[in-house]
Structure 1
Amino acid sequence: MDQEGDRFPLHTAARLGQLSIAESLLRADPKLSQRKDDDGRYPIHWAASSNSYDIVLLLANQSSFDPDVQDASGWTPLMISASVPDSEPVLKLLIQRGADINEKNSTGNTALHFVASKKNLDVARLLIENKASTRVRNARGQYAIHRAAAVGADPIISLLLRHMSPLNPTDSEGYTPLHHAIAEGHGETAVTLLKEGADFTIKTSEDALAIDLAPNAEIRRYIIQGAEREGIDLSA
């Protein structure tokens, strides 16, 4: 075992998914679950990161368990789990144990912001079914829909809009979701937002319309033609 493993054996067991070792360590010293490592993380953060359901369950059964404990960056176990592939069982367990779905980290992001950025529709549905709000801004003034638009996550955009997300909010730089979609070159997403009624006349703090941010002439033409097919004149 390396030096960190010697100092934080339960953290290491959680990170590596070593259930029997974790059980032995906790039997010997239950307070190990409450120790922070040099990254400001508790064992539950590493268990969530490794998507180890059995170790998450073991830690959740400790009397001292806090489902919303934050690491040095403000990440909760649920935020970490939401960012890991195939994590639905662990997410459901954390939610059952009282995790706050709308908790923010140090940059103001919620689990839904992270899921939107990763285009994970199934987890987005799970969070929203358990009362994740689509109307939470992060430190940059962005809602989850801004992040979904920036990565071209059309199905998540549709899901967010069905659950009370605003369509035309501006972030701290005056960008709407439409601005983000076009700036990142997601022409299809831009057309999707326009079909939903996105306001293409809003300007950023630097006086730029969304269409002005198209990275090249081809994407600009695609968006203008797609809008025209929907009866939308972007020059109006």
Structure 2
Amino acid sequence: MGNSFGCSASGERLVSAARDGDFVEAKMLLDCNPCLSKYSTFGGLNSPLHFAAAKGHNEIVALLLENGADVNSRNYCGQTALMQACRYGHWEVVQTLLLFKCNVIRADYLSGRTALHFAAVNGHVRCMRLVVADFVPSAPFESLNAQTISDRSDGSNAKPKFEQSVLSKFVNKAADGGITALHMASLNGYFDSVQLLLDLHANVSAVTFHYGTSMDLIGAGSTPLHYAACGGNLKCCQILLARGASRLSLNCSGWLPLDVARMWGRHWLEPLLSPNCNMPVPIFPPSNYLSLPLLSVLNIARDCGSRFLATASDDADICAVCLERACFVAAEGCEHELCVRCALYLCSTSNIPSESSIRPGSIPCPLCRHGIVYFVKLPGSSSKEMHSPLSLGLSTPCMLHPREQDTSEAVGSPNTRKNRVASISSDIFCPVTCSPFPSVAIPMCTCSEGPSPDFDSLESENQKEQSMRRSKPGTRGREKTKGVRLEKTTCSNMFRGRRSCSTEHKCNA
């Protein structure tokens, strides 16, 4: 059972298609009724976008967003589709959601986790790189970490400037119990995620809340080194110590990281975590998953919209990598031209070894291996906004009675869908997906071409109708009342055709 009248069966079919990856079924349903993209199941309140993002069906995610699905919609736990995609490591879906300008700083209702927490707890480092892309400027990595290195060399207690930045606030955002993304990645032993978070100015000395934590056996007020000691990953402990973690930090239970390692049976960490340890800690280079030009190509892709997915024409410059699409961007330095999709894929999937000769965080050009820090849009490429999802609020337009197309539109674009709504007005909404419990308040809907009246107009019309009945109780008044009733055909009456037909046959018999 769904939360809409007449659309529950089609909505459940769309949910099944989004969950199973049936693109043909999903496209057929959305072509008939685009407002189904905002459908949500009655019990879990998971939209088709949540199911498609959790299963990693990127084509269905893009189809739903193009048909008006809310990119920031929440389920009953307050989780967005971005959180579901980061939870299961579907970085292609995360990339598509970012192109539709999803909100990455939202937290769920249960534990206050953001999409970065969901990606860090399972070690999905590519998703983490995409989530923080809007906060990392396309600048050389040396300039980003210059303030951090100077503060460490001085040894002063003054807070560095990067702690006040938006990137640091987002990376160090605490979830339930004060656990940060660095705590989660250190506990589960994901070294690549720990290294990337530390390069993005994660606080190595952050402690959980003193009044309690979700991991009571580790103790309240614990640092990421306590969590790494519980996880037992040697490399995570080494990089935390190399970035300034203290072996002498005590939590609220009075435990050192060494005590936590002993309680959990991580005996191989005792020589490293001992307070009197004289072992040299290795120096770790910057993370291989840094991608500085990612923000620049994301902004270009959002500006170009769906044009960067189209094939190149005869007079356009074809991308030398894919040989299909037109070139929209040029690499900084070498000035080699690429299409937006190839540049976006290159920045999202790169894993550059630290021993390479290019600067940390830069991406090698696929044609000349030159280090790219940012991309620039070609001057000849005109900008066009992406087909952004229709912001319909809580209500969606009634598609059971599609509006007739204009003659000019039918002649100008013969391939246009019959049920496509060119311009949606706020006066033709009907409660297809208004609320999870539609039986509480059912507003009246008229599906004719005219605007649907509001509550006050309905009351005034009913009063006029009653006065006409009192003044003219004859057959003329009955015919007029009958005509008014026939004009107000609601959406739910459309699904009673078979029943009325059978009743009519019985009457004729």
TM-score by length of 1: 0.87
Q: Which residue does the alignment assign to 1:216?
A: 265
**How far apart are the structure 1 equivalents of 2:265 and 2:272?**
11
1:230 to 261, 264, 280: 280
**Mapping for residues 1-236 of structure 1, pairs under 5 Å:** 8-37=12-41, 38-63=43-68, 65-85=69-89, 87-106=90-109, 107-131=111-135, 133-172=170-209, 173-214=220-261, 215-216=264-265, 218-224=267-273, 227-230=277-280
* SS of equivalent to 2:88: coil
Change (3 A) 1:150 1:129: same
**How far apart are the structure 1 equivalents of 2:93 and 2:239?**
33
Q: Which residue does the alignment assign to 2:415?
A: none
- Runs of 4+ aligned structure 1 residues displaced above 4 Å come to 4-7
**How far apart are the structure 2 equivalents of 1:68 and 1:161?**
28
Range with greater deviation from structure 2 (70-79 or 213-222): 213-222
In our comparison, the structure showing a higher alpha carbon Rg is 2
Number of residue pairs matched by the alignment: 226
State the 1:5 CA deviation.
7.4
Change (3 A) 1:25 1:7: closer
**How far apart are the structure 2 equivalents of 1:217 and 1:26?**
54
Do 1:174 and 1:205's aligned partners in 2 also have CA atoms closer than 8 Å?
A: yes
Aligned residue type for 2:202: S
- Structure with higher RCO (Cα < 8 A, 6+ apart): 2
**How far apart are the structure 1 equivalents of 2:117 and 2:64?**
26
The structure with more helix, counted as a fraction of residues: 1
State the 1:216 CA deviation.
2.6
The RMSD of aligned alpha carbons is 2.2
**How far apart are the structure 1 equivalents of 2:132 and 2:11?**
39
**How far apart are the structure 1 equivalents of 2:9 and 2:279?**
61
Aligned residue type for 1:168: S
Deviations 1:71-112 (A, max 9, x none): 111111111111224x22221110010111121112111111
TM-score by length of 2: 0.42
**How far apart are the structure 2 equivalents of 1:104 and 1:80?**
12
Do 1:188 and 1:223's aligned partners in 2 also have CA atoms closer than 8 Å?
A: no
**How far apart are the structure 2 equivalents of 1:89 and 1:95?**
10
Aligned residue type for 1:121: V
Range with greater deviation from structure 2 (131-140 or 93-102): 131-140
Gaps of 5+ in 2: 1-7, 136-166, 210-219, 282-509
Kindly, what percent of the aligned residue pairs are identical?
Answer: 25
State the 1:155 CA deviation.
2.0
